Structure 1
Amino acid sequence: MCAHILVAEDDLKQATVIRRYLEQEGHTVVVVHDGGSAIDEARRHRPDLLVLDVMMPVMDGLQVCRVLRRESELAILMLTALGTEEDLLRGLGLGADDFMTKPYSARELMARIRTLLRRARRTAEVRAEPVDETVLHVGALTMDMARHEVRFGARRVELTAGEFRVLSVMAAAPDRVFTRRQLLMHTRGANAFVTERTIDVHVLNLRKKMEPDPRRPAYLLTVVGVGYKLTDGSDDVDGPDGLRGER
């Protein structure tokens, strides 16, 4: 499973180690040392995966992730020496596929890269097949699976790939309650190196993009102690502008 991998890491020693291990597995590797160069290289050569350090000059990894995620579904593995939950949530919220905290073992890094590459290959194979013509409707929400488009009423909603997967699972079964684990399995697979907290981040971002008032959701509801469900908003007894729902 050889791939073209871009490594954005300003620590020369770390970058050399990562390059050596990747090349031993047969991958083609390009290394850059600042965020601006990472964006330029990703746009120019369209790698299969980006290993992205958070702390870099010119533009940090979070900014790079934000820019590139708007443009493509490039697989992104973020690295950080900070290791705070805030970093994790910000990175996943911007569309990163996985997150590792320094120091890490080279074996674990390679395992996670293999997982991301397999997932990217499966996604590419699915897209090469005849497209799913399904259009899902839940209240004001419309999901066009073939065009990968989402509308809420007349308004188009821009979603990351992860957000789209989570929402499509719930839209296919309105009013069904999904646990975080179920959503994770549906959207990431059993072998993904991510936690159920990832689902919370996606739901938080979906509410910000969809709900009239994300603090009082009317459509994407929390079922306390269980998980989440997507409704058509008809349970809102406060009137057409009411927004009753669990936070």
Structure 2
Amino acid sequence: MDTQPCILFVDDDRDIRSLLAEYLDANGFRTLTAADGTGMWRILDSTRIDLIVLDLTLPGEDGLTLCRTLRARSNLPVIMLTARGEPLDRILGLEMGADDYMAKPFEPRELIARIRNVLRRTQALPPNLEPLNAKRLCFAGWILDLAARHLISPQNTVVMLSGAEFRLLKIFLEHPNRVLNRDQLLNLTHGRDADPFDRSIDLQVSRLRQKLGEDAKVPMLLKTVRNEGYVLATPVSVEK
């Protein structure tokens, strides 16, 4: 059985694809390449991939659009690449669900380190549902629309979510009745390790509770497990 992580590198520059694939293969990875979104989806439909390195600027659908569509289907790790080093690009990439971000030109050794770091984080996470070929996730009368990226209340009212709130709620819905600690939640939603003083997850959970109409003192859906983390305490069903 092949235990080498399989990396899909998506970039429209043939020379970069060739050079990076050779470098990754020489450093313990199995590498496939694609020049655009069409090629990326073709490979994903036929091959098990462990991580995607995705260029932002591509012919046809750009990297941001592809990343957003991918995030609605699975939790496959994504490292975004761009020739533009603008902070807005990085923010947009992370908002679309990228696990990490690098600006071109980059040092190949740094990319290797980032790939290994993202794989280490994601492989250390608790088992979750199989990648969801789903349109909506349903729980306690609520519906999370994965395409529109918003909530629908039991009263059929649309509740808008920020990018961070959407990612966090989706993670909880894909791990129902499992306790997730802050490290795991930060890794899944932001692609980084937790700082001991980082309370961003607590703030996002608080905001999600407000969107769900939860009593902050006695929440029924997003419960706090003392000294451990948070748990979504309700069954989840999938609409395809």
TM-score interval for Structure 1 and Structure 2 normalised by the shorter chain: 0.5 to 0.7
Which residue number corresponds to residue 33 of structure 1?
Answer: 35
CA distance in 1, matches of 2:104, 2:192: 16
Gaps of 5+ in 1: 132-148, 174-181, 212-217, 221-229, 235-247
Q: Structure 2: give runs of 5+ residues left out of the alignment.
A: 130-136, 147-165, 218-240
Superposed displacement of residue 18, structure 1:
1.6
Larger Rg: 1
- RMSD, aligned CA: 3.9
User: CA distance change for structure 1 residues 183 and 79 in 2, over 3 Å: closer, same or farther?
Assistant: same
Quote the residue 1:61 is aligned against: 63
What's the offset of the Cα at 1:40? 2.2
Out of 6, 10, 35, the position equivalent to 2:12 is: 10
**TM, length-normalised to structure 1:** 0.59
The 5 Å alignment of 1:65-214 reads 65-123=67-125, 126-127=126-127, 151=139, 154-157=141-144, 163-164=169-170, 183=182, 187-188=186-187, 203=204
Equivalent in the alignment of 2:52: 50
Displaced runs of 4+ in structure 1, greater than 6 A? Answer: 194-197
Give the 3 Å change call, closer, same or farther, for CA 108–34 of structure 1 in structure 2.
same
Instruction: Classify 1:83/1:195 alpha carbon distance in 2 versus 1 (closer, same or farther; 3 Å).
Output: farther
Higher relative contact order (CA 8 A, sep 6+): 2
In 2, the alpha carbon distance for the partners of 1:83 and 1:166 equals: 32
Report the alpha carbon displacement of residue 185 of structure 1 after superposing the two structures with TM: 7.2
Q: CA deviation at 1:158?
A: 5.2
What is the alpha-carbon distance in structure 2 between the residues aligned to residue 162 and residue 108 of structure 1? 28
Distance 1:183 1:84 in 2: 29
* Counterparts of 2:11 and 2:25, CA distance in 1: 16
Aligned identity (percent) is: 31
